[in-house]
Amino acid sequence: MILRRFICYNASSTVSSIAPSPKKKPLIFLGSPQVSVSVLEALFNASNAPNSSFEVAGIVTQPPSRRDRGKKVLPSPVAQYALDKGLPSDLIFSPEKAGDEAFLSALRELQPELCITAAYGNILPTKFLKIPVHGTVNIHPSLLPLYRGAAPVQRALQDGVPETGVSLAFTVRKLDAGPVIASKRFQVDDLIKAPELLSFLFSEGSNLLIRELPSIFDGSAKSKAAPQDDSKATLAPKIAPDEAWLSFDQEAFVLHNKVRAFAGWPGTRAKVVVLDEKSGQQNVLELKIMSTRVCKDLEIQDSEQDYVTFKKGSLIFPCRGGTALEVK
């Protein structure tokens, strides 16, 4: 009898010690450009932690496009990163539209508990938003409700804001208008450019996301998320290529902010006339302006308003109000 009890006790102990771990919650990530990769990397790292409760079950990204000056059709940076990490290609989706029925059917089969978006680049219809159990959460590089839209970092720099930030918000049908789970603000250096700031904000947004994931999965994030004040909302519309031109009848700080904002794409350009005083011949040059500084210790006289001058390896452009822009 004692021996039998001993054997039963050990058998039950062995069974409990090898009990299967709880199934991880499926998470779907949506993103496309290089800045989104930092978010996906953070999710992969967190999902591989010993105490992780979720797994990256699939990727949604923009279809392959021509890059390297149009010579090759390549997957998006997010898709390439996922492939390099060993995610099966049948779990990487690139629908033309997020409302495609074949795509939505495949997504439902994965039974996602949560979707995360970071610069995905497609509008998400209602029938998509109804699929994940805990909703869809977006990393948006602004302090919502400020700068809702496609180009929040660029428009903030163009406006010369002294601070900006990153927000974690639930996705609703209205553009970037969902309740905000958390946000973090940062001071903006007056020389930082859009690509650098964009990368920084998405990196910080990744940290914010990983911190808040437990509350999103247990449902408490929905109760604590703060509704946005629509009366304070500002828009950040997509940048058009023809916005790249600089007009020197504006003040220097306006042009400097534009150069910072449009660095990367579409860049900024200016036209100057080179005059040969001997022959009177004029040649128009188109310059790509890459780096500038406002000349705070230089005043342009009325007689100099039409002339670009040289100073220590830089071009000095006269601007409105007697201000000057140093093109470095």
pLDDT (0 to 100) of residue 86: 95
Where are any strands of DSSP class E within the chain? 25-31, 54-60, 65-67, 72-74, 92-93, 114-118, 136-140, 163-170, 180-187, 268-275, 282-289, 292-294, 309-311, 314-318, 324-327
Q: For the chain, which ranges sit under pLDDT 70?
A: 1-21, 68-70, 299-304
Which CATH number does 25-236 carry? 3.40.50.170
In whole angstroms, what is the distance from residue 328 CA to residue 318 CA? 14
**Coil/strand/helix, residue 7:** helix
C-alpha separations of 117 from 59, 109, 170, 220, 296 in Å: 10, 19, 10, 20, 42
The matching CATH number, chosen from 3.10.25.10, 3.40.50.300, 3.20.20.70, 3.40.50.150, for 241-327 is 3.10.25.10
The pLDDT of residue 297 is: 74
pTM of the model: 0.90
Q: Give the start-to-end residue ranges of the domains of the chain.
A: 25-236, 241-327
